[in-house]
Structures are given as structure tokens and as C-alpha cells.
Amino acid sequence: MGQDLYYFAGKLREEDIIKGNTHFAKYQYIETSAIKLFEELKEENYLIGTSFNQFSEKASYYMAELNIIHPFREGNGRTIREFIKILALKNGYQIKWNSINQKTLFKASVESVLNLDPLIKCIKGAIKS
């Protein structure tokens, strides 16, 4: 994704990024932060066997954490949504991101730094049976 547009596509960012009031992880900590987060997900057995509510809450947590790690210069939102979509499929859920308002989802992602509730609501609204 994006390899024809940006020379840095698919590579971890090598600079610090701030968007608005959000300070993303310092680039020196991207790899170690991501490894720690994915180890945590592995310890939770990739959320397999969780209820709808548990999955929605945990998926929101992982989505928010990945967003704050912000591993790439561009394409983080799309990449993270795809990751959560695949995680949902592995748990028997189908996420339709286009079924929720994209501005609402973006705002919930920004707010997730301090409050996961709006993001949980978005994920619950995007899951289709």
C-alpha cells in the first residue's frame, strides 16, 4: 500500500510526529512498543473466545495503542483498521468500517488517548453478524 507514492511506504518512521495535541510515540520506541503490545495480544490469545462486549473493548484498546505508537509516516489509520478487521475475522466477527461515520471514527480515535468509550461504540457499531 502506497509503495508507488512514498519512498517511506511500509517502513517504520524515523522522526517524531505530533498532530494537533497528540504526541505519538517517539520513533526510537516504535519497535519495542509494538513488540510489547503484540506480546500482550498473544498472551490474551488474540482475544479468541471473548464475548462481543469483551472483544469490542479489547479491540478498541489495541486500536488506540497502535494509533499512539503510530509506526508509519502515513497510512496508520488504514493499516490499523485493516489489522483490527482481520483480528475480528479470526474471532468470528465481521467489521464493516464503512458502516459508521468516518468523522465520528476519526474523532473517537483521537479521543481514545484519554477515553476508549467512543471508540468502543464505533467498533460495536461496525461489527456485523
The domains located in the chain, with CATH, are 51-129 (1.10.3290.10)
Closest CA to 26 of 12, 42, 37: 12
pTM for the model: 0.92
CA distances from 2 to 14, 18, 59 (A): 17, 21, 25
For the stretch 20-37, pLDDT in tens is 999 999 999 999 999 999
How far is residue 68's CA from residue 34's CA, in Å, rounded to a whole number?
Answer: 10
| pLDDT digit string, tens, across residues 53-93 | 999 999 999 999 999 999 999 999 999 999 999 999 999 99
